[in-house]
Amino acid sequence: MQTDFERAKILVSGAGGFLGRHVVEQLLARGARAQNLVTPRSGELDLREPDACARAVEGMDLVIHLAAKVGGIGLNREKPAELYYDNLMMGTHLIHQSYKAGVGKFVCVGTICAYPKFTPVPFREDDLWNGYPEETNAPYGVAKKALLVQLQAYRAQYGFNGIYLLPVNLYGPWDNFDPKSSHVIPALIYKIAQAKQAGQKTLPVWGDGSPTREFLYVDDAAAGIVEAARTYDGAEPVNLGTGAEISIRDLVEMLCELMDFKGEILWETDKPNGQPRRCLDTSRARAEFGFAASTGLAEGLRRTLEWYARHGERLSLV
């Protein structure tokens, strides 16, 4: 059954975040009314608390759960307990309170980190349980994957309509460029910008450059999430991605060229590489709700760099 965005009261958790901004824009573009959108910030509601979740979902027809505590390899190594606890509690309580409140549909956005460390490439949703996640990301990945189990259990016992989406690594305008907690693309953009500003002749980068990653432009991800919220009601998880991978080495070289950095790249092979390969099978998303990414990596990086050039100083990161 299709969700009527014009009439639905919609809660978007994490609406002020990187992905949330773009999902709200897509909802408004698809007919949602601003007065029916509820977008609480973390300072207003602590979603780790069940009472806060109960207040947030009261009267809602649709909940899109994007709020997460998330970061790159550095944060995952530094704060695994917080990443596990905060993400598990937010999702668990929000799902349970949504069920109790009679919410018509729940959209949970998971993480590519939930996949096993040595998943055959391309990653297929059916392989999600065939091993343990890459150790660095495991606490975060397991916490988010547990929400899929909860949604499927609530569907089986209560008939609760919850869907689960697995977006690949995202990038784009309004990303987190803080080097202490950012993912690979914004972290590299910040690092290269700093190196250029300081006149450095070298660029140190973690790992040996061999791992591959897939990257999805944030506007494409938001479009996929909103279309799934509108039309997908299945119990099975669904990947959101481009189906194309690139090595970290090639990504760094591409960014250096786009940002006109001429220095030497120094690979810090004593630092972790992370998961060896990441690339998704996106056929289920195409079949179930017609999703296909429309922004290539080079074009997406150009748009991201244009945004960063305009907004970097405001973020106090340049």
pLDDT band at 316 (very low <50, low <70, confident <90, very high): very low
User: Which domains, ranges and CATH numbers included, belong to the chain?
Assistant: 10-171+215-243+278-295 (3.40.50.720)
Burial of 185 (0-12, 13-18, 19+ CB in 10 A): buried
pLDDT at position 269 over 50: yes
Give the whole-angstrom CA distance, residue 244 versus residue 296: 9
Angstrom distance (rounded) from CA 241 to CA 216: 6
Is the bond leading into 211 cis (omega within 30 degrees of zero)? Answer: no
Q: Residue range 170-196: average pLDDT?
A: 90
pLDDT (tens digit, 9 = 90+) per residue, 88-113?
A: 999 999 999 999 999 999 999 999 88
Which of 301, 288, 309 is CA-nearest to residue 257? 301
- Identify the band that residue 179 occupies on the pLDDT scale cut at 50, 70 and 90: confident
pLDDT at 314 over 70: no
Distance CA 85, CA 79 (A): 10
What average pLDDT score do residues 276-301 get? 95
Average pLDDT score over residue span 194-202: 93
pLDDT band at 315 (very low <50, low <70, confident <90, very high): low
Q: Indicate whether 306 pLDDT > 90.
A: yes
Please indicate whether residue 315 or residue 257 has the higher confidence score (pLDDT): 257
Q: From CA 142, how far away is CA 140, in angstroms rounded?
A: 6
User: Mean pLDDT across the stretch 68-77?
Assistant: 77
Q: Binding site, residues?
A: 14-20, 144, 167-170, 183, 191, 206, 213
Q: What is the pLDDT of residue 22?
A: 97
Say whether pTM exceeds 0.85: yes
The residues annotated as belonging to the active site are 140
Q: What is the mean pLDDT of the chain?
A: 93
Binding-site annotation, residues for NADP(+):
14-20, 144, 167-170, 183
- Write out pLDDT tens, residues 13-54: 999 999 999 999 999 999 999 999 999 987 788 999 999 999
Least confident piece of the model among 89-103, 135-149, 267-281: 267-281
pLDDT at 214: 95
SS (H, E, C) the chain: CCCCCCCCCEEEECCCCHHHHHHHHHHHHCCCCHHHEECCCCCCCCCCCHHHHHHHHCCCCEEEECCCCCCCHHHHHHCHHHHHHHHHHHHHHHHHHHHHHCCCEEEEECCHHHCECCCCCCECHHHCCCCCECHHHHHHHHHHHHHHHHHHHHHHHHCCCEEEEEECEEECCCCCCCCCCCCHHHHHHHHHHHHHHHCCCEEEEECCCCCEECEEEHHHHHHHHHHHHHHCCCCCCEEECCCCCEEHHHHHHHHHHHCCCCCEEEEECCCCCCCCCCCECCHHHHHHHCCCCCCCHHHHHHHHHHHHHHHCCCCCCC
Q: How far is it, in rounded angstroms, from Cα 39 to Cα 56?
A: 9
pLDDT greater than 70 at residue 282: yes
Query: Does residue 130 surpass a pLDDT of 90?
Result: yes
